[in-house]
Amino acid sequence: MLAVVVEKSRKCLDFGSTTYLLHLFVCSATREVPSSWDWWVVHVVGLVVMVVLGEYLCSRVEMRDIPLVSL
């Protein structure tokens, strides 16, 4: 889904970190700032995986050949 929404590999880090910061603010607003280390570890690992896979998938989409119509 990230490759469809972002479409450019250099924007994946920005979009991913913004998404996770918004998630942190929503979690903090509804309850409190998460204090358990496992919550932070899971979310940092999730952010890294999302950015790396998103950049990979976006770069594959960018590198596709442009189809030319032959008449």
- Please tell me the predicted confidence (pLDDT) of residue 45: 93
* pLDDT for position 41: 93
Query: What is the value of pTM for the model shown?
Result: 0.74
Closest-CA residue to 57 (of 14, 4, 17): 4
Confidence of residue 3 (pLDDT cuts 50, 70, 90): confident
CA 2 to CA 46: how far, in whole Å? 13
For residue 71, the model assigns a pLDDT of: 63
More confident residue, 71 or 38: 38
The predicted model gives 6-26 an average pLDDT of: 86
